[in-house]
Structure formats: structure tokens, C-alpha cells
Structure 1
Amino acid sequence: MTAEEDLVTYERKGRIGYITLNRPDKLNAFNDDCVLALKDRLWEFDQDEEAWVGILNGRGRAFSSGADVRQRQLRNRDDLIKQGGPSGRNATHHPIMFEGHVNWKPIIAAVHGYVFGMAVGISLRCDYVIAAADTIFEITETRRGLYAGQYWSIMQFRGAGTFADEVFLTGRRFSAEEALAHGVINEVAGEGGHIPAAEGLAEKILKNPPLSVRAVVRARRWHLQQHERNHGLFYERARLHMTEDFRESALAFAEKRPPKPYVGR
């Protein structure tokens, strides 16, 4: 395996493909290489003719703490301008992780621990979301001074309604049980039981003809993509990463201190 392949691994057991975030010492935070590695492993699953259902999960104490602040959000101003924002060279790859797939196989997100920031968007773009009972979600973009509208749109698509309004405006954390109650996710498993629960669901899916399953997946993803595009999701995001407030929030996080008062510019 190359270093990039180590960051996100892929293996198949029977008809189930396991895509695993593998940076546990950093709570599976996404740096540039992790984003590209995830794209590659998802494509590998899509192209694996023997794999019919995928399970996306994270190794260690968390599914993912979101973007790697030090590597992605503390780029200097010139880099932010040159690369088009914190996503850098991945701007065309994120956040629509499944765009470009041709086989439309269902992917179950089996999450636990922390699901923060861009990890929320990645998990909710999966076709089914199972969270362990200890899972905590947070839209970190609001507190970080970044655009969070793309994830708000996904929650609206999933039927989260006014709950999405609250957690996006406040940036507060919310539990797996809250997420389930408001339609953000599909299922809550016992603590540590998220992967067995995902495997149980996968076995049920595998009892159906694969092409009919894939037709449903294709329809769902097409409608989600149209929903996001209809909201003009990338317009404001292109501006907020250049603000003083964003820079201060990212620095405060990296320096482990409270942010200075925000100035609105």
C-alpha cells in the first residue's frame, strides 16, 4: 500500500466492501491526501464487480473530526486565493463524493464517536446512515466562520426541517438520538454496534436483485445532487474563507484558546 492508500483502506468480505478512514491518531481528520484517498477508495469499491454493498466507517475513537484545521484552514491568504478556499486542490472533488460513479451501489455510513464538519456532509451523502449510540454530531463550519449551507441543504433533503435551522444557526452539538428523532439519520445502534448493524442491513439488501437496488440508489443521488445545485450552494462559500473572522476562529482552534471578539468582516 502507498501512504495515501493507508489513509483510507478498502477491503471486501463476500459481497460487502469496507471503506475505512484510517487516521485514528488524528481522529480521522481530513487533510488533502485523505480527501483524495477517500475518493479513490470509493471509486475502487464502485469498480469492484464482486462488491455489491459498501460500508463507510472510521477506525479508532471517531468516524471523523472533520477537516484538518491546521492543514486545510490555516493556509495563508495567497494559497486560499490561488487554490479557491480551504479545500485546496480538492475543490473539484469535495463535497459531492459520489459524483462520477457508474455502478450506483448502495453505501451505508456506519459512524461513531465524533462526526464533525465535513464528516457530517460525507456521511449524510451516503444512502443510509447508522450511528452508534455514543455518536456526537456538530456543524463546525458555523463556529469556524465558514459556509455550511451545503450540509443544511442535505438535512432539508433528508427531512430534518426546523431542527436543521437550529443546529446550523447555533453550531451546537447534537446526539445520535436527536439526529434519529429529527430524520437526519436512519438508525441508532448500541454503543460499538454500528458496524454489525450496518452488516445486518447489508445482508438484507443483498437478498434483492442488485440492479433494482442500484436503480434506487441512482435516483436518490440524482435528486440529492439536483437539490443541492438548485440551492446555489457554492456561491457564499467562495467568500467566507477570506474573512478576518474565519482566520481568527481557525487560529483560536489551533492555539487552543477562545477566539477574540468577531468583527463581522
Structure 2
Amino acid sequence: MAANYRYFTLEKEGELATVTLNRPDKLNAFTLQMLFEFKDIVDDLRIDLRTRFVIITGEGRAFCSGIDVMKEARDEWYADPRQPNERIFQENGQNIVRDWANLHQITIAAVNGACVGLGLGLVTLCDFRVVAEDAYFSIPETSIGIGYSVSCLYPLLASIGPAQARRMIMTGDRVTAHEAKTIGLAHSVVGSEDLMSASLELIRKLSTKGPTALRIVKRMINAATIAQTADLAAMEPELVQAFYNATGDIEEGLNAYREKREPRFHLETD
């Protein structure tokens, strides 16, 4: 069974659902419409008691290149003119990624190609990460003056620890598939042609385990990981918006990115 979305495909067969980001011409970069489509998919899966496993992957040569920051995509963010652009994405995105993390199904990220920013957040919120050997990961947000969302930060910290998280977030360095396995970001690395078959083999292994036990273990691990960040996550949209309003860094960073120049960020001594 397949559901119709503009920027995703959702296919269900037996106990497996496969979610595919389907905006390959833009390397599956998220727009606000994509975010709301993803919410619909997550809501569907939350009440689907038949599906036990979910694979998420990307169409084309990228898993997800993050949030689409080009002007045409950002114009779409003005769904509610009473709220600033970034706050709309933060508030909605935070709730959606939380619900994705808390799905009762076991989630497997089959990572093909580039996995950047929000894409990396989605991957670290999955229970398992199977990665193609030509894939890479990066968090380029600070290059355009944006912080990394708390909703995506806590699973990153749980996966790779503070030292590696600082390196990825503060430098924006790319992490290769094999390095990702070394630091705990990937569970396995396979040839790109074997990505889906390796994911299905993992599901076959998991399907022999007690379904109730798997759900309980997932909830316990999530509870232990998420508990310390809940208050900060609730405060994040307001704090971040106040910072951006005060400095103007986000607009400068985005304009510099579009104009292909170095950004001129605000300094506290200015």
C-alpha cells in the first residue's frame, strides 16, 4: 500500500513501512510543506499497530541536505505572518522530531549520500543507522549563523558524545561513512548497492525478538536520553529568536550564503 504525498513516498508491506524523502532535485532539503507532510506521515505511523519497522531513506543522490534556505523556499515559511520564519520551523519541527523519536516502531535510517543538518537530526533519532559507504554527514548551521536545534542535539550527544558533537557543530567538518561508524554515528557501513538489502537483513534479525520487549527497551532508552533536555527544548524557540532578533546574524548568514560571499557576523564588541 502506498500513500500520496508531494515530497515523500510512504509504502507499507506487511510489518514494514518505508518512508522516502522525494525532492531529489533539491537534495531532499526540507521546506515547511515537507515538514507538515512528514508530520502527517508520523501521525499515520503513530496509530498504525500493524507496522513494526520503519525504514527512512532519500530518493536520488542525497538522504537530506537539511533545511532549504534559498529565498524561494523561505518565502513558503510565511504560513503564519504573525510569527517569524525561524520560529515557525522551530516550534513545529521540534514537536515532529519528538514524535518521530517516540514512534512505537523500530526505525532504521538507510543513509544514502549527503546527510546534513536536519537530515542528520532525523538519522540520530532513528534506532539504527545503516550507511552507504559514499555517504557523509555534516552540520553546517554555524557557517550561516544558526545554532543546532536542541531536539537534534540530544540524540547526537547520545550517539557520539560531547567532544565529537562540538567538532561537528562548531567546525561544520564533514564526517565520512567509515569515520561515522568509528565515532558511533553509524551502526554499519555497506556498499551503496547493498543499502536496502542490509536494512532488510537487520529487520529480519529484529523480527525474531519479542515485539513488546523491543518497544519497552526503546521507550526506556528514549526516556533516559531525553529527560535532561526537555526543559531546554521547551525554551529554545523563544531564546533563539531573541538572539537572532538582537544580532541579525541569521539574515546576514543566509544572505551571504545566497550571494556566495563570506558572512559579516555581529560581534559582542560591535
| TM-score normalised by length of structure 1 | 0.86
Instruction: Return structure 1 stretches of 4+ with deviation > 4 angstroms.
Output: 71-76, 78-81, 100-103, 230-233
Structure 1 counterpart SS, 2:192: coil
- Whether contact under 8 Å (1:130, 1:188) holds in the other structure is yes
How far has the Cα of 1:247 moved from its partner? 1.1
Structure 2 counterpart SS, 1:107: strand
Separation in structure 1 between the aligned mates of residue 168 and residue 116 of structure 2, nearest angstrom? 12
Q: Match of 1:228?
A: 229
- Whether contact under 8 Å (1:4, 1:37) holds in the other structure is no
* Shift in alpha-carbon separation, 1:133–1:239, aligned structure 2, 3 A: farther
Q: Does 1:36 align with 2:36?
A: yes
- Whether contact under 8 Å (1:10, 1:45) holds in the other structure is no
Q: Match of 2:203?
A: 202
How far has the Cα of 1:175 moved from its partner? 1.0
Separation in structure 2 between the aligned mates of residue 154 and residue 239 of structure 1, nearest angstrom? 25
Q: Does 1:170 align with 2:150?
A: no
How far has the Cα of 1:98 moved from its partner? 4.1
Q: Match of 1:249?
A: 253
How far has the Cα of 1:244 moved from its partner? 2.4
Structure 2 counterpart SS, 1:63: strand
- Whether contact under 8 Å (2:111, 2:135) holds in the other structure is yes
Deviations 1:93-117 (A, max 9, x none): 4365242888611111111111111
Q: Match of 2:65?
A: 65
* Shift in alpha-carbon separation, 1:146–1:103, aligned structure 2, 3 A: closer
Separation in structure 1 between the aligned mates of residue 90 and residue 181 of structure 2, nearest angstrom? 31
Give the CA RMSD over aligned residues.
Answer: 3.1
Q: Which runs of 5+ in 2 are unaligned?
A: none
Q: Does 1:262 align with 2:269?
A: no
- Whether contact under 8 Å (2:39, 2:96) holds in the other structure is no
* Shift in alpha-carbon separation, 1:130–1:236, aligned structure 2, 3 A: farther
Q: Match of 1:136?
A: 136
Separation in structure 2 between the aligned mates of residue 5 and residue 17 of structure 1, nearest angstrom? 15
Structure 1 counterpart SS, 2:230: helix
Separation in structure 2 between the aligned mates of residue 56 and residue 84 of structure 1, nearest angstrom? 30
Structure 2 counterpart SS, 1:158: helix
- Whether contact under 8 Å (1:152, 1:168) holds in the other structure is no
How far has the Cα of 1:72 moved from its partner? 8.7
* Shift in alpha-carbon separation, 1:177–1:228, aligned structure 2, 3 A: farther
Deviations 1:143-182 (A, max 9, x none): 1211215244322212433111212111111111111111
Moved more, 230-239 or 59-68: 230-239
* Shift in alpha-carbon separation, 1:40–1:101, aligned structure 2, 3 A: farther
Structure 2 counterpart SS, 1:130: strand
- Whether contact under 8 Å (1:153, 1:231) holds in the other structure is no
Q: Match of 2:124?
A: 124
Q: Match of 2:22?
A: 22
Structure 1 counterpart SS, 2:20: strand
Q: Which runs of 5+ in 1 are unaligned?
A: none
Question: What amino acid is the match of 1:61?
Answer: R
Question: What amino acid is the match of 1:247?
Answer: E
